[in-house]
A and B are shown apart, each in its own frame.
Chain A
Amino acid sequence: QKEVEQDPGPLSVPEGAIVSLNCTYSNSAFQYFMWYRQYSRKGPELLMYTYSSGNKEDGRFTAQVDKSSKYISLFIRDSQPSDSATYLCAMSASGANNLFFGTGTRLTVIP
């Protein structure tokens, strides 16, 4: 079983839709949770960073962490064509030297 599971998609939505991206994980020691966005031919860039359980909102983006279910989500409101990218979840345990990444979900927002 992989440490982090993420549906690869692809996911296509119309402009303005609400997008939900999800990851599950198996290691209960994970405490730091991140979402990265990766455009084609670019490196991943940090989108959201949360610690432990709860919600975090930044503009159109909301990250949710449910540690009891080992499940994290990223919601994108009012999706735009510029949101078309691959979204990677990542997580680590306290004091760990490595991030564990999901395989990424490819999102296309259609104008």
Chain B
Amino acid sequence: EAQVTQNPRYLITVTGKKLTVTCSQNMNHEYMSWYRQDPGLGLRQIYYSMNVEVTDKGDVPEGYKVSRKEKRNFPLILESPSPNQTSLYFCASRWQGASPLHFGNGTRLTVT
């Protein structure tokens, strides 16, 4: 089954404790992206990757890092999480060009 898989689904952590949210897709998509979803603000792009070893900032990149060492994986790293990063995070992938995004089922992160 074609899918984008994120782990973990739920994560509670404390301020400053480094964490990684993993994302993997099995559709051989070149493009991958991370979004956060907040009430009243909708989905906002954090980082995206056009292909292996090619990443770029989205609209809200502060406090986040990403890497793309393999085509299928695109982890999101929070080196020093803060409470304002409490949110619902989605990984997504697509073919190059204007094709639609395929989303994972989300990771709900709470930073206390």
Contacts and interface: CB of A to CB of B under 8 A. Distances in A.
Interface of A: 4, 6, 8, 31-32, 34, 36, 41-46, 49, 51, 88, 90, 92, 94-99, 101-104
Given A92-B98, A97-B50, A102 B4 contact: no
Interface residues of B, number: 22
Nearest to B40: A103
Q: DSSP class of B's interface residues: helix, strand, loop or mixed?
A: strand
A42 B102 CA distance: 12
B105 A88 contact: no
Contact of B103 (A41, A43, A97, A104): A43
Interface of B: 4, 31, 40-43, 45, 48, 50, 56, 58-59, 90, 92, 98, 100-106
A95 B64 CA distance: 25
Contacts of B50: 97
Given A42-B106, A44-B90, A101 B42 contact: yes
B43 A43 contact: no
Contacts of A88: 42-43
A103 B100 contact: no
8 contacts: A42-B105, A43-B106, A51-B98, A96-B98, A98-B48, A99-B101, A103-B40, A104-B42
